[in-house]
Structure 1
Amino acid sequence: MKPNKELVCMGHQIILHETSGDYDLMEGISAPGVPGPPPHYHQGYHELFMVIEGEMEFLIGDKAVTVKAGSSIDIPANTLHTFKNSGTENCRFMNVHSPKGFMSLFEKFGIDAKEENAFEKSVAPQLLGNLARQSASYDMHIIIG
């Protein structure tokens, strides 16, 4: 098994875990106030978030849902969603995409966590613009407005 890959993507520290099953597994750490990606949906991926520490506010369709430590939220394919750490502490969570394949977006647009200024590089306008333009190729369909 390969070592876990540690990246910073869109301002979130993420640790990619290799799996033998037909799903991608990622651990995330989001600082207070750090927004998630723009509202989006996946046509082919189901997604699950389990909050380990802190809390995360999710927008699911047009409904706001707060998920606290020890709880999870399941997001079916074709469901508009995003998230934000609206708490006062770091939020640590596990994230699953099924079937396997979405991890390639993090590998493409994530910055190695060991790089100097990785956080700043991960939210640079040029990188975020490239991600937005290419996101549909990774089955991340962004809804603007």
Structure 2
Amino acid sequence: MNQLSTNWVLGHKVTPYQTTGNYNLVKGESPAGAQGPPPHIHKKYEEVFFILQGQMEFVLDGRQSTVTAGELVNIPSGCLHTFSNTSDESCLWLNIHSPKGFQSFFDAFGVPESEKDAMQQSLAAERITDVLKRAREFDMEIKIP
């Protein structure tokens, strides 16, 4: 697999990989205390998160769980979900979206890791506003509580 460029997306470092199948694969790193995206639904995408190191809190259809290294979470299409790293250590993970197509979200809102203050730029108010405004373009229906 070929690694593409690494970006910071909403406070998470995301590295996509080219695949030949009908899915997108990214490796991610969530710093300690990193908030996840707002609760959202994908109508056409299914997701899988596999935790490589550390732990991540997931909320799926209102049920919260802690997922640790070596465990995975399946997120079917239509499931209201979010995640965050509430621990004091960074979390490494793999994420798959199927079918292929969600990579365009990471491309649209990512800040190249080589840019100065890339993580902070990825969390800038204007970027968050843009995500909230354009999320539906990427099959991401945001449900703000």
Question: TM-score, with normalisation over the residues of structure 2?
Answer: 0.98
Q: CA deviation at 1:87?
A: 1.3
Could you tell me which residue of structure 1 aligns to residue 96 of structure 2?
Answer: 96
Structure 1 CA distance for aligned equivalents of residues 142 and 10 of structure 2: 14
Could you tell me which residue of structure 2 aligns to residue 26 of structure 1?
Answer: 26
Could you tell me which residue of structure 2 aligns to residue 64 of structure 1?
Answer: 64
Q: CA deviation at 1:5?
A: 1.5
Structure 2 CA distance for aligned equivalents of residues 49 and 90 of structure 1: 15
Q: Which amino acid in the other structure matches residue 92 of structure 2?
A: R
Supply the RMSD in Å over aligned alpha carbons: 0.9
Q: CA deviation at 1:118?
A: 0.2
Q: Which amino acid in the other structure matches residue 33 of structure 1?
A: G
The sequence identity of aligned pairs, in percent, is 38
Could you tell me which residue of structure 2 aligns to residue 54 of structure 1?
Answer: 54
Q: How does 1:72-111 map to 2 (within 5 A)?
A: 72-111=72-111
Q: CA deviation at 1:3?
A: 4.1
| Residue deviations 1:1-53 (CA, integer Å, cap 9, x gap) | 75422000000001011111000000000011111100001000000000000
State how many pairs are aligned. Answer: 145
Structure 1 CA distance for aligned equivalents of residues 112 and 71 of structure 2: 29
1:52–1:21 Cα change, 3 Å: same
Could you tell me which residue of structure 1 aligns to residue 125 of structure 2?
Answer: 125
In the TM superposition, structure 1's runs of 4+ consecutive aligned residues that sit over 3 Å from their partners are none
